[in-house]
Amino acid sequence: MKILAIDTSCDDTSVAIVEDGSILSNIVSSQIEFHKEWGGVVPIIAKRNHEERIDVVIAKALQVAQIHMDQIDVFAVTYGPGLAIALEIGIRKIKELATKYNKPIVAVNHMIGHIYANFAKNSKGKPFNPKLFSKAVFPAISLLISGGHTEIIYMKNHLEFEKIGQTLDDSIGEAFDKVSNMMGLGYPGGPIIEMLAKRGSQDTYKFPIPMINSKDLNFSYSGLKTAVLREIQSMGTVKYPETKEEHAELPNRITISKKPIYQLTKKQMEDISASFQYAATQQLIMKLRKAINDFPIQNILLGGGVVNNVYVRGEIRRELRDIGVKVFYPNNKKLLSDNAAMIGIAGYYFAMREMFTSIHALDRNPALSL
Ligand code: KG4
Ligand code: ZN
């Protein structure tokens, strides 16, 4: 079964060709250059870029996969969660193609895509996570950590999702982005904080680990964010950076924001990053331990952009190894961030069960939940 999948949920225009769970192509056209000067994604810029690029990205995905559109059996598209006007571009295109080629549509929840990235196979049919195919995986727990979500999902089986924990305020990815912003650094903040944290000490600042005493599996990142802000405010005076040269000592991938920032030394930035990253990760580990206690499982599937962070995923894996729980993540750089292949993989599992969506019922759902 050959699937053409589209994801335009946020700031990446992505199209993939997936055959029986194997990725034949996965093209991601990033718009980050257009958004970073605003310190976040600007919906109208995202929409315009998706509109301009979608046909070229589709053509490229077919070319790399070496197939023609008339060989496609199923069309898959992200219908939420995400930015309404961005989702619309992918949905409109999928409707157009499904009508023209008279083929069924699967509508995929972006977060299910992040989970199913774990089940991807390469173009030769070899799984990135072979162990997920060789034994009983379920019941399992999925931890979703992205720019919009921090959630724990209990999965009794394939395509059975029960949300058992979620953030009450900010997502963890948002917290990384905001801490970067507070220090006057760029967007997305996650990779910047991770890089600075490598040289910092996590013991310098004792930031609170929110929700550790709560009995549920929910998360909160606003208290941690506020504690970091207070620390930063206590450090120095406000100034208005005008030139990149002022921050010449920082790695050049860091962009300088236009808003007033607090005067921090590079060492302070590194220590804040490490201490924040430690507290943010500890919260994940504590909640996962509790979830494993409440829901006996042997496998955890990680998903979402924050899984790019080697420290975060490494600590989770290390901490849970002692209690015999295996931690999986999409073992391929492109599958960690937003991409259409994950939508094609999830779409394949839905299509196998003939869970199609009619063209008339298909509509964007920006606040779609699991
Ligand atoms: O899943 P994703 O690509 O998009 C959404 O669906 O939201 O996640 C984006 C989020 C951003 O908040 C970004 O800062 C974060 O993932 N992120 C990271 C890292 N790389 C991306 N967070 C921490 N460390 C990283 N290395
Ligand atoms: Zn995502």
pLDDT of the residue at 254: 46
Helix axes 43-65, 84-101, angle to 10 degrees: 30
Each residue of 163-221: pLDDT tens digit?
A: 999 999 999 999 999 999 888 888 889 999 999 999 999 999 999 998 888 999 999 99
Separation of alpha carbons 212 and 219, rounded Å:
9
Q: What's at 257, amino acid-wise? A: S
Cα angle 280-203-272, degrees, rounded to a multiple of 5: 60
Closest CA to 115 of 354, 345, 353: 345
pLDDT for residue 242 is more than 80? no
Separation of alpha carbons 106 and 340, rounded Å:
13
Each residue of 3-57: pLDDT tens digit?
A: 999 999 998 999 999 999 999 999 999 888 777 777 678 888 888 999 999 999 9
Which ligand is nearest the CA of 83, by number? 1
Q: Of 179, 306, 368, which is best to mutate to test ligand 1, by the most ligand atoms within 8 angstroms of its C-beta? A: 306
On average, the pLDDT of the chain sits at: 92
Helix axes 310-321, 266-294, angle to 10 degrees: 40
State whether the beta carbon of 188 lies less than 6 angstroms from ligand 1. yes
pLDDT of the residue at 251: 44
Report yes or no on whether pTM surpasses 0.85: yes
User: From atom 7 of ligand 1, which residue's Cα is the shortest distance away?
Assistant: 147
Separation of alpha carbons 118 and 330, rounded Å:
4
Output the CA 308–ligand 1 centroid distance in Å.
7
Separation of alpha carbons 109 and 86, rounded Å:
14
Closest atom, ligand 1, to C-alpha of 309: 26
DSSP conformational letter for 217: S
State whether the beta carbon of 304 lies less than 6 angstroms from ligand 1. yes
Each residue of 251-285: pLDDT tens digit?
A: 444 444 555 567 788 899 999 999 999 999 999 99
Percent of the chain with pLDDT over 70: 93
Q: Are 145 and 304 in contact (CB under 8 A)?
A: yes
| DSSP structure string for 237-291 | -EE----GGGGTTS-TTPPPPSS-EE---HHHHHHHHHHHHHHHHHHHHHHHHHH
User: From atom 5 of ligand 1, which residue's Cα is the shortest distance away?
Assistant: 147
